[in-house]
Chains A and B, each alone.
Chain A
């Protein structure tokens, strides 16, 4: 399945775009992270990063569909 992924902060620089499409093998957040880390190995150099599904932080193995809004959340630094 191909999903669209939004990126912010340093993730946007790693992807070279604020939005990318990527093919994933298992349709969950783990499958997405695996695919992203293969294509963008610099993600693994971050302190950490989270996946958000429909504006909420998602745990490992959260199912995702093509209708979901998916975003990569690198370490936040507001305030």
Chain B
């Protein structure tokens, strides 16, 4: 199973884990992204996430398919938040269930690393004295 979702509501990590749980799997690897309070020593007030939703879902689905081709994994879930997030909030949850842990770890890492490069989602960091779209400028 591959499940992808973009939501403006709080991500429920336990529900994500429950969805990939399978009797034929020996483990679930979960990556939970959390909003950090600083960037390069500068205090972050909040983050704002925006997605080109239709394309982002398509790219997330591709990531799940690629991961399933590369590793013997059974279930993949990728959920991403949009909207305004505060420190400690969860922008992304990736859960991968596999018969054996190596595949789950490798696939999960591949998915988060590639998501950051290909999925059309953007974050703006809001500081006390300004704001910046992350990665926009050299």
Cβ contacts under 8 Å, A9 to chain B: 50, 122, 124, 133, 136
> Does A77 lie within 8 Å of B91, measured CB to CB?
no
* Chain B interface, >50% SS class: mixed
> Does B122 lie within 8 Å of A77, measured CB to CB?
yes
Interface residue tally of chain B, by bracket?
A: 20 to 34
Known: A74-B122, A76-B121, A78-B80. A55 touches B136 (CB 8 A): no
Per-residue contact bits, chain B 109-126, to A (CB 8 Å; 1 contact, 0 not): 000100111111111100
Within 49-69 of B, Cβ neighbours of A (below 8 Å) are at: 49-52, 54-56, 58
Contact of B122 among A52, A55, A56, A76 (CB under 8 A): A76
B15 beta carbon closer than 8 Å to chain A: no
Distance to closest chain A CB from B66 (angstroms): 15
B137 beta carbon closer than 8 Å to chain A: yes
> Does B120 lie within 8 Å of A52, measured CB to CB?
yes
Give Cα A62 to B121, complex, Å.
Answer: 23
Q: 10 A-B Cβ contacts within 8 A?
A: A9-B133, A46-B136, A52-B55, A55-B55, A76-B120, A77-B134, A78-B92, A78-B120, A79-B91, A79-B115
